Amino acid sequence: MENVFKLEGMTCQGCADTIQGGLNEQSFIEKAKVSLEETTLYVTAKQSIDINSLNSIVSGLGNYKVRPYKSSIFSEILNYFISKKPIVIALAIVILSSFAMQIPSDTFEIKNLFMSYMGIFFILFSFLKLLNVSGFSMTFKKYDLISKVIPGFAISYPFIELALGIIYLAKIESVLIYINILTISFMTSQSIGIARALINSEQIQCACMGSAVDVPLSSLTLVENFIMIIMSGYMISILVWLMINYEPTMPLLLLPAITFLMISFGTRFTVISNLIRKIHDESTDKSDLKTKDYRIRINSEISALNKRLLLTQILQISAGLGFLFNLLAILMFLVENKDLSFILFMSGLVTLIISIVLFIIEISISSKSLRVHITDVEDENQ
């Protein structure tokens, strides 16, 4: 008979594994399974389960407690946030501090609140990362897309975050638009990597709080990044609105460029698909798998193609979103909603910038692969 209980005190997958291993060693328990995400314990036993017996076992493993399972929405939400306590506390400090900084101002402005929030956020989280930069970089490279393709980015990211935080708090207007674009790029790269890890059920520590605080990747981390993306997008829209006289022809001017980019991205995807098929055909031909050098080269090509395929998928989606946002911007202008039209236009512009940046990264990976082939040809002709 399977019994279900709630577990309190877990902060990482290591905690869940410790409890699960400790319970499975008990003779009266046939099978114990612990879900970190649900903070739930599933126990199949040969006899009736006494919750006090379970607590005597888990309390000896750490600061954990077993409670009766309650399916109320409130208790589920509460347990979820308790399991993410470090990041919840950090975000609460950031929110309260950013609102406190607005108290001396005579007028309340969303833009100033957002800059305070992002400045405090970056400085607080960069401090946690700087406590152990090497430890942070090892975890960060497991899911951040930019770190996977640009050597040294993971090591330098805590210092970049610190610089961004200082600029936001100093409110240096001349560079605000650029740091907002950088923020969107960084948060998007991390969000995509986190989403992939969650979809694949990978147990990876969240690098957002450095290696000193053990917090697993979760949907809360995604929400945290999306908030930063929305804030940056809003500030870019405000800054550009003040700089230009928005006209309905602006979205129209982008349409040919978007179409060209989508055709170009589609061509890249076709090329990558053909390369993957070629490698697949070569790999299935056992006569070709003769040398160790061949297998090393094939594995290197597969690794590069995996990165290129992921980047191409993302930049195609980004270009598609840019096209959609621009069409909606034109539609909003036709119904005389100029403000919403401008926001949609800027959203489309940002997604296009992201797709172009990823396109440049994809080209750099492709160039490295070609240089490997050139080296092989040179070696054979010597």
pLDDT in tens, 296-332: 666 767 777 777 777 777 777 877 888 888 888 888 8
Q: In 3D, which of 125, 99, 109, 118 has the Cα closest to residue 231?
A: 118
DSSP character for 84? T
pLDDT above 90 coverage of the chain, percent: 12
d(C-alpha 191, C-alpha 122), whole Å? 16
Burial class (CB in 10 A: 0-12, 13-18, 19+), 33: middle
Q: Are 36 and 83 in contact (CB under 8 A)?
A: yes
131-164 confidence digits (pLDDT tens): 889 888 888 888 888 888 888 899 999 999 999 9
Angle 338-380/219-243 helices, nearest 10 degrees? 110
Check residues 41 and 49 and name the one with the higher pLDDT. Answer: 41
The most confident of the ranges 126-140, 281-295, 363-377 is 126-140
Continuous segment of H or E residues that includes residue 66: strand 65-68
Whether residue 286 is predicted with pLDDT greater than 60 in this model: the reply is no
| Residue-level pLDDT at 344 | 81
Q: Does this model's pTM top 0.75? A: no
Q: Taking residues 173-197, what's their average pLDDT?
A: 85
Q: Taking residues 169-192, what's their average pLDDT?
A: 87
Query: Which structure tokens are listed for 218?
Result: 């979760």
| Residue-level pLDDT at 244 | 66
Whether residue 382 is predicted with pLDDT greater than 70 in this model: the reply is no
| Residue-level pLDDT at 70 | 65
Q: In 3D, which of 372, 322, 361 has the Cα closest to residue 345?
A: 322
Mean pLDDT of the chain: 79
Q: Taking residues 213-230, what's their average pLDDT?
A: 82
Whether residue 206 is predicted with pLDDT greater than 70 in this model: the reply is yes
d(C-alpha 209, C-alpha 91), whole Å? 11
Whether residue 375 is predicted with pLDDT greater than 80 in this model: the reply is no
Query: Which structure tokens are listed for 134?
Result: 């090497």
CA 353 to each of CA 10, 115, 313: distance values in angstroms, whole numbers, following the listed order: 40, 22, 15
d(C-alpha 345, C-alpha 340), whole Å? 8
